[in-house]
Structure 1
Amino acid sequence: MTDGEYDKLSKEEREVKDAEDKAREDAEQAALPYRWRQELGEVDIIVPMPKGTRARDLVIVMQKSKLSVGLKGKDKILDGELCKQIKVEDSTWTIEDQEAIHIHLEKLNQQQWWENVLTHHPKIDTRKIQPENSKLGDLDGETRGMVEKMMFDNQQKQMGKPTSDEIKKMETLKKFQASHPELDFSNAKIQ
């Protein structure tokens, strides 16, 4: 379904479509031989292993665009082209309790969500990702101001009210009108 077709659906139809897509996506992801999660800058992968697995039993290759994980002498569990490139020098792997491999990949582009880990695996809809909430207090002053302005503008748009920029333009026009009462502003358009 294209974005245009999706936009034409009613709210109820969208909710049904979203629920169906989420169920299909969850089933596809559950069928993978690993679990994964991501943040904007990183991807974490957990690969279950037979109990008692040690580092010497593993063959793991991490390259800028490739990932391969397996047990020596057996078929690879993961093997293929990464969805996006990684910073190899900042990416790591460890064994947890001799029964799982935790792979931490640092994304090269830290402003982009991944659709999948390996290009041949099922994709997720990155438009539906809900990033973890961060606190406004964690942000520097300039970024915090920009985020608060965006939140205010979004709230205003949802209520059909003017955004902060539109309010500022209207105030400027009112001041100009007050200082120039001789001018006719009846046909003025704010852009």
Structure 2
Amino acid sequence: MADNTEPTPAEVVAARAKEAEEQAALPYKWTQAIGDLDVIIELPGNIKGKDLNVDIKKKKLFLAVKGQEPIISGDLPHEIHVDESTWTITSSPSGTKILELHLDKANKMEWWAHVVTSAPKIDVTKISPESSKLGDLDGETRGMVEKMMFDQRQKELGKPTSDEQKKLDMLETFKAQHPEMDFSNVKMS
């Protein structure tokens, strides 16, 4: 039987510390937004693009300095859009080179627990997405979000949601058109 008890604060702190330690040990740093993922790798200052072997596939990633062990090699946890994924090398102020790898997620609605499946996972339930403004959304998405927010407020107040209100309004219109009918046993579902 599964143990469904909540972790203690000490266990949460220990899990966070272990996760941070595992991520710090990786030969790269990575961040993600809901739609994409970026990997940053610091390389020696004499490295040029031709010195790298970078192979980005829909479900696989391989990145190495030629003649050396791979920096990243493995299966991606989810598919990416290969044609929208890129990599660049820039010089850093410290004299090293920075390889920036940008992966465009195929599914724009999921967080990744790791870059490749062989790497340690992060707890994606603890990710808090950057807040976006309603004005940043396209018309259809904005309308959907506003409806959801309205319905949530209505539920909290014990009032009907927009769909329930629409049904009630239709019933009232029908009642007005048919005063001869008995509506006392009508149940809304």
The reply to whether TM is greater than 0.5 is yes
Paired positions, count: 184
State whether structure 2 residue 30 is matched by structure 1 residue 30. Answer: no
Structure 2 CA distance, aligned partners of 1:22 and 1:183? Answer: 65
| 2:59 alignment counterpart | 65
For residues 48-90 of structure 1, what are the alpha-carbon distances to aligned partners after superposition, in whole Å with 9 as ceiling and x for unaligned? Answer: 2234433233222222222122223222111111112222222
* Separation in 2, partners of 1:187, 1:14: 50
Q: 2:112, 2:154 → 1: CA distance? A: 31
Say whether residues 1:165 and 2:163 are aligned partners. Answer: yes
Which residue identity lines up with residue 70 of structure 1 in the other structure? Answer: A
Q: Give the TM-score of the pair, scaled to structure 2.
A: 0.76
Partner Cα distance (1:31, 1:160) in 2: 51
> Please, which moves more after superposition, 41-50 or 15-24?
15-24
Aligned residue number for residue 176 of structure 1: 174
1:110 aligns with 2:104: no
Structure 1 counterpart of 2:28, one-letter code: Y
Identity %: 50
- 1:134 aligns to what? 132
Pair 1:93–1:157, CA change in 2 (3 A)? same
Report the Cα distance in structure 2 between the residues aligned to 1:184 and 1:166, rounded to whole angstroms. 21
SS at match of 1:110: coil
More deviation, 170-179/74-83: 170-179
Q: CA deviation at 1:45?
A: 0.7
Q: 1:151 Cα deviation (Å)?
A: 1.5
Q: Tell me the equivalent position of 1:95.
A: 89
1:182 Cα deviation from its structure 2 partner = 4.7
Please report how far the alpha carbon of residue 34 of structure 1 lies from its aligned counterpart in structure 2 after TM superposition: 1.5
Change (3 A) 1:158 1:91: same
Q: What runs of 5+ residues in structure 2 fail to find an aligned partner?
A: none
Question: Aligned in 2, Cα 1:188/1:67: closer, same or farther, shift over 3 Å?
Answer: same
TM-aligned CA deviation for residue 181 of structure 1: 4.6
CA distance in 2, matches of 1:110, 1:94: 23
Structure 1 stretch 139-148 or stretch 171-180: which is displaced more?
171-180
TM-score for the superposition, normalised by structure 1? 0.76
SS in 2 for 1:47: strand
- Name the counterpart of 1:46: 40
| Worse-superposed segment, 74-83 or 153-162 | 153-162
